[in-house]
Amino acid sequence: MAGIGTKDKVVGLGIVLVFLTALVSGVSNFVNFWVAKNVNVNSDAFVVARNVVVALLLVPLALLARRDVRARLRRADWAKLATIGLVGGAIPFLLFFRGIQMAAGAASATFGYRTLFLMATVLGVVVLKERLSRWTLLAAGLLLVGNALLLTLTGPVWTDGTLLVLLATGLWATEYTLSKKALRDLPSRTVALGRMGFGGAFLLAYVLASGQIGSLAGFPLEQLQWMALSAILLVAFVTTWYAGLKHVDLSTASAVLVLGFPITWALEVVAGRRPFTIPQAAGAVAVVLGVALAAGVLSVRETFEAAGRAVLAGIRRATGR
């Protein structure tokens, strides 16, 4: 019994860490969407410089976690980390940031990123052999509906940027699957550093080959400020995400990560970037309930009861009663 209790505590800690990741993700999306749409920046140079800074910041964290890990890494481990860096720490960042800029505010582009949990769940079942209950599927339905309600379709439904965001999302889902397998044998901070370290190296090779290396010098002060904030948030994201993913199923962790979207929505409402509407508020509630159900915070009965109360509150607000 003691062993089972210990395992449950470890999983619980993993869930808490992923919840922290979702909080960081919500703030990070708020910042990055603003930068992509409003700051005049070479997206490739911005991403490369920021990710290299993140990799450098992760080095002391990884060394403090396991001083002997470098000596213990096998050739196969280095190959895994390099693949994770390419698939998750390099290509998708370029695609995503460029896609958001090209979409010019089209909500369909961000909706592509919001399907990450669906892609990750499918890969978790197929590749990692994770089991899904019907309640997990119900949670996935709530998350999908909630994200759809959170969107404000004021632009074209499909753009070239949408395609790039979808490609980036698929690569991240693939990388999370590879990372979950690597985390069975490696410390979470080693995987985080592998993702950002190898990713940074690949990104530097890309800007060198594409003749953009000169763009890494002479960032204006405004861009440096945004870059520093974005880098700090990304360090917090990868540190908490891989520490949590090590102890939690990918399907559950990716579902909890969806909580970042209503957090971003709430920040945008507070900042005056978008108006508060009942449909979007309902979407935020649906996401919160879906996450709670997927994480086991609420039972199915409690989820339906909470949903009923939220619907009644929305009706009263809309009718002024």
What pLDDT is recorded for position 86? 97
Please choose, from the candidates 151, 139, 159, the residue with its C-alpha nearest in 3D space to the C-alpha of residue 293: 139
Q: Is the pLDDT of residue 117 over 60?
A: yes
> Crossing angle, helix 221-245 and helix 250-257, to 10 degrees?
150
Is there a domain that residue 265 lies in?
yes
Determine, yes or no, domain membership for 124.
yes
Return d(Cα 77, Cα 92) in angstroms, integer. Answer: 22
Burial of 160 (0-12, 13-18, 19+ CB in 10 A): exposed
Q: Which amino acid is at 19?
A: F
Judge whether residue 65 has pLDDT over 70: no
Average pLDDT value for residue range 97-116: 74
The end-to-end CA distance of the chain, in Å, is 52
Quick one: CA torsion of 290, 291, 294, 296, rounded to 10 degrees? Answer: -110
Q: pLDDT tens digits, residue range 235-249?
A: 999 999 999 999 999
Q: DSSP string spanning 236-263? A: HHHHHHHHHHTTS-HHHHHHHHTTHHHH
Please tell me the predicted confidence (pLDDT) of residue 52: 94
| pLDDT tens-digit series, residues 233-286 | 999 999 999 999 999 999 999 999 999 999 999 998 998 888 888 889 999 999
> Residue 78 to residues 84, 150, 159, 174, 181: CA-CA distances in angstroms?
10, 40, 37, 18, 14
Number of domains the chain is built from: 1
Answer yes or no: is 30 within a domain. no
Asked whether residue 129 carries a pLDDT value surpassing 90, the answer given is yes
18, part of any domain: no
Cα 183 to Cα 178: distance, rounded to the nearest angstrom: 9
Residue with the larger pLDDT of the pair 307 and 198: 198
pLDDT at 100 over 90: no
Structural domain boundaries enclosing 287: 42-319
79-94: per-residue pLDDT in tens?
Answer: 999 999 999 999 999 9
The mean pLDDT value for 127-134 works out to: 88
- DSSP annotation of 271 reads T
The closest of 176, 154, 165 to 249, measured between CA atoms, is 176
Close Cβ partners of 114 (under 8 Å, ≥ 6 residues apart): 147, 258, 261
Q: Is residue 26 part of a domain?
A: no
What tokens does 38 get? Answer: 């409003």
Q: Which residue has the tokens 């693939």?
A: 174
**Rounded CA separation 69/83 (Å):** 18
d(CA 40, CA 231): 18
Lookup: tokens for 66: 């396991």
For residue 264, tell me if it sits in a domain.
Answer: yes
Does residue 19 lie within any of the structural domains?
no
Percent of the chain residues topping a pLDDT of 70: 81
Taking only Cα atoms into account, the Rg of the chain, rounded to an integer number of angstroms, comes to: 20
Q: Are 63 and 105 in contact (CB under 8 A)?
A: no
Average pLDDT, the chain: 84
Answer whether residue 289 is part of any domain: yes
Q: Residue 155 has what DSSP assignment?
A: S
